[in-house]
Amino acid sequence: MSLDPATIRRIASLARIRVEEHELEPLCHELNGILGWIEQLNEVDVTGVAPLTGATNMAPPGGAGHQTMAMRADVVTDGGYADKVLANAPERIGDFFAVPKVVE
Amino acid sequence: MMLTDLTIAEAREGLRAKDFSAVELTMAHLHAIEALNPRLNAYITVSHAKAVDQARAADAALAAGEARALTGIPLAIKDLFCTAGVRTTAGSKILGPFVPPYESTVTANLLRDGAVFLGKTNLDEFAMGSSNMTSAYGPVENPWKRRQDANAVLVPGGSSGGSAAAVAARLAMGATGTDTGGSIRQPASFCGLVGVKPTYGRCSRWGVVAFASSLDHPGPFSRTVRDGAILLGSMAGHDPKDSTSAPVAVPDFEAACARGVKGLRIGVPREYRSDGMPAEIDALWEQGVDWLRAAGAEIVDVSLPHTKYGLATYYIVAPAEASSNLSRYDGVRFGARETGEDLSDMYSRTRAEGFGAEVRRRVLIGTYVLSAGYYDAYYLRAQKIRALILKDFTDVFRGVDALLTPTAPSAAFAQGEKMDDPVQMYLNDLFTVPADLAGVPAASVPAGLDANGLPLGLQVIGKPFDEETVFAVSAALEQAAGFTALPAIRAGG
């Protein structure tokens, strides 16, 4: 599997990162270098192996078996300070984040 | 002896004995920062006034007999931890204007225990790098110098390069870092420090700018193993705000440092003996084995068969998680914004302008491996191999108490080296990545010097939630190594 400039353009658009035409070739080269190196994973036999999806499968305190992630009571524990939440907004209108016009 | 040369344990005693005040101790560090930071660039932000205020409060607490574990101890905070009212950049242009209104749990724990924060330290952008060269705020100079080539500017390692350089040069008594693929242990090795990556879940990630959530581990930098134990004891603890934080008690890590290694079984994994590893690193490893054997440990040859696949696995899992985590930087709620023709164009320009080359590279890789048609071939396969890597550790820990390996495949390299090929840079984390993927605790301890007089670390890896054994073995190595070498650039040096 190797990336071509059209694929780079597609994933850059999925990632919402603007990539200029002249950057496509060098990016292709870099990313293919990394993906080529990653191909070594195809040597590993993963038949019947369950994927490790995250932290709860790792490091159970006190021994073997899998930890279960704790559930939290579904109650409001925080909030009520719109000014703090909006303090870092690049642009705000009243108590709202403002963005460029979406609908003409 | 200068105040900046004291260990945290010594400074704590000196403060309690009123040999010096917390303000004096903090001022000594602020002066050192003023003198050396323009050259080293270890700090992005120095919070002078806030530090002095905190030191005054510490003196008041000491006078009232209310001293806590870190009262009056000046620390540096990696600029990835959100600090209320103090700019937090993550080393990125996109967070340049960001001033968090809240405090991360780890830094809140340190403040609860009386610590003084000198400022925020430099790092690779979003903690993505092994040299601190990807920071939008400029590279950091390693305070250590090559004997033969003293003009070469060496990297401190990364991503927590500023924290490591600050503690090594005595611009802080200790520092926080984060380790996703080796970002505490590799810079600790490069700068002659102790660096501890605890078990996943031991330290809360709440308020730490996220890179790869299943791999990010906050942990401490220090000049001694005991200081590392003191810092981790304060940083750790269950936090309901992080659903992956473990609801387990924090043991007395400091006491564990004195346990010794008599009767412990120490595994030496044969897969860590990589081709092309410098002979002096191999020799230091052998030396470490001899030290532990002499201290009463039993040495066992062990195998972690999937070690060689750790890095490639990491370079799928970490970018995948990063591409998701970094989607929040869209110029809407916080951070920098570029203007665009419409909303979508604003997002794309903001992210193109705000992210550096390495971050863009990883977000694109992550987007690709998660995209329709490639998910199974890349991401799912990597998660399965990650399970096999965890199983390697689980199996081996049935027979041994801890593992001993080198920390990094080389000593500190010069700025500009290994920059042409991303994969060459990634290879730095060969020995550190497996412990991140498995979530097991690990520490790097300064153990010797290379032919050029640069520090080299040995790595101790332990069982999940058994940092105590990691500290015991690390302290034994520290004692045997008697590492007293000092970096060329340091306060009063």
How far apart CA A91 and CA A94 sit, in angstroms, is 10
Give the CA angle between residues B388, B394, B397 to the nearest 5°: 140
Residues of B in Cβ contact (< 8 Å) with A52: 383-384, 386-387, 390
Give how far B168 is from chain A: nearest CA, Å.
31
**pLDDT of amino acid A71:** 78
Contact: B364, A70; criterion CB under 8 Å? no
Q: What is the mean pLDDT of residues A41-64?
A: 78
B250, burial (CB in 10 Å: exposed 0-12, middle 13-18, buried 19+): middle
Which residues pair with residue B219 across a beta bridge? B177
Please give the average pLDDT of every successive group of 10 residues along chain B, which has 493 residues.
95 98 98 98 98 98 97 98 98 98 98 98 97 97 96 97 98 98 98 98 97 97 98 97 93 98 97 85 97 98 97 97 98 96 95 98 97 94 97 96 96 90 86 96 98 97 97 98 97 87
Give the closest of A18, A56, A99 to B332, CB-based: A99
Supply A87's token pair.
């303090």
Query: What CATH code would you report for A1-40?
Result: 1.10.20
pLDDT of residue B428: 87
Is B91:B79 a contact under the CB 8 Å cutoff? yes
Query: Does the beta-carbon distance from B352 to A18 stay under 8 Å?
Result: yes
Q: Check if B214 is active-site.
A: no
pLDDT at A65: 43
For the question of residue B131 being annotated catalytic, the response is no
Rg, C-alpha atoms of chain B: 21
Compute the nearest-CA separation of B454 from chain A (Å).
30
| 3-state SS assignment for residue B469 | helix
Q: Which residue of chain B comes nearest to A8, CA vs CA?
A: B364
CB-defined contacts A:B, below 8 A: 181
Catalytic residue among B21, B47, B78, B92: B78
| Predicted local distance difference test score (pLDDT) of residue A63 | 45
Whether the pLDDT of residue A92 is over 70: the answer is yes
Confidence of residue A59 (pLDDT cuts 50, 70, 90): low
Alpha-carbon distance of B388 to B277, in angstroms, equals: 25
pTM of the predicted model, to two decimals?
Answer: 0.97
Backbone dihedral region of B154: left (phi > 0), alpha (psi from -120 to 50 degrees) or beta?
A: beta
Reply yes or no on whether B78 is catalytic.
yes
- Cβ-defined contact of A99 to B346 (cutoff 8 Å): yes
Q: In this model, does residue A57 exceed pLDDT 70?
A: no
Q: Which residue of B has its CA nearest to A28?
A: B361
Half-sphere exposure of B371 (CA within 13 A, CB side): 14
Question: Residue B1: what pLDDT?
Answer: 77
Q: What is the pLDDT of residue B424?
A: 82
What are the backbone dihedrals phi and psi of residue B67, each rounded to the nearest 5 degrees, phi first?
-70, 140
* Separation in Å, CA of B207 to nearest CA in chain A: 14
What pLDDT is stored for residue A60 in this prediction? 56
DSSP B398: T
CB pair distance less than 8 Å for A57 and B390: yes
The string of DSSP codes covering A13-74 is: HHTT----HHHHHHHHHHHHHHHHHHGGGGGS--TTPPP--SGGGS--TTSSS---PPP---
Instruction: Please name the CATH architecture into which domain B1-493 falls.
Output: Alpha-Beta Complex (3.90)
Mutation choice for B interface testing from A1, A57, A58 by most B CBs within 10 A:
A58
Which pair of tokens denotes residue B323?
Answer: 């591409």
Res. A61: pLDDT tops 80: no
Q: List Cα–Cα distances, B456 to B143, B175, B186, B466, in angstroms.
A: 14, 19, 10, 24
Indicate the pLDDT class of residue A56, thresholds 50, 70 and 90.
low
Residues 6+ apart with CB under 8 A from B413: B131, B154, B155
Structure confidence at residue A64 (pLDDT): 42
A88–B335: do the CB atoms touch at under 8 Å? yes
As beta bridge partners, residue B45 has: B120
Q: Identify the DSSP state of B428.
A: G
